[in-house]
Amino acid sequence: MSQIYCSNCGKLIRSSSNFCQFCGAAQHGEVAMSQKITAQRQPRTPNNDSIINPEECIAKRRLCQRAVWSFFLSYVGKTSLLLVLFLIGIAFEPILFGSVLIVYVLLLYLAAVIVRQNYYFEVNTSSFRKEHGVIHKIDVTIPFNRIQNVNVTRSLGDRILGLARIDIESAGSSHTNTQNRLNSSGSLAEGHLPGVTLTQAEEIHDLLLDRFSKIQNNNQRTSP
């Protein structure tokens, strides 16, 4: 079957088609010729989405299941003084403080589960996006052309759990630094992403840098 390229959208269609099944543009006769002339006269603006393959995107998903333990250890570290007090109390009142310690551990684990259940991230055709928070929802979107650097870091706890963290530094992100500290990440990067596997971290790292490189090259080609 012979095929031709649509004079309007550029997609492959059957040569016998009178109209493009994708954009509906006429392919033969005076109407097609007038559309082609009009398209040639109109300047085309660069579209960053056109250089991104949607199949290479990362669909919206939660953090790795092991991220629960990462959050749990973080909460234990932040409330370590209480843990010490409970352990001292067990020496004097084993039953009372032992029960309190069990409730304390269960509450921290439950909090970690809830936080992980409400923590999402994705890489679409135009940006990196993450959404987290239980009561106060926080939505962070970083377009590829704002990315300055992408780092993969691993703390001792991350290495034990087989996890990694991603820090996406972007232009004009100073207003989010305090927000990131309050979110227990300890990172100044706007796009801090904890609780991903090392394989996922490397995939996201390479994908984001590749997207940024493509957009930069496309902008250079289309700039006058």
Mean local confidence (pLDDT), 17-46: 54
Instruction: Spell out the domain ranges in the chain.
Output: 3-42, 59-222
HSE (side-chain half, CA atoms, 13 Å) at 88? 6
Helix, strand or coil, per DSSP, at residue 105: helix
**Residue at token pair 């949607």:** 54
Integer Cα distance of 88 and 110 in angstroms: 24
Q: For residue 82, what are the β-bridge partners?
A: none
Distances in whole angstroms, Cα of residue 161 to Cα of each of 15, 64, 70: 57, 11, 8
Contact (Cβ atoms closer than 8 angstroms) between residue 199 and residue 166: no
* pLDDT band (50, 70, 90) for residue 110: very high
**44 pLDDT higher than 60:** no
Q: For residue 143, what are the β-bridge partners?
A: 127
**93 pLDDT higher than 80:** yes
Contact (Cβ atoms closer than 8 angstroms) between residue 195 and residue 164: no
**Whether the predicted model's global pTM rises above the 0.75 cut:** no
Contact (Cβ atoms closer than 8 angstroms) between residue 164 and residue 201: yes
Tens digits of residue pLDDT in 163-180: 999 999 887 654 444 444
* pLDDT band (50, 70, 90) for residue 223: low
Tens digits of residue pLDDT in 193-202: 999 999 999 9
Q: How many CB atoms lie within 10 A of CB 71?
A: 22
Per-residue model confidence (pLDDT) at position 56: 72
- Size (the chain), residues: 224
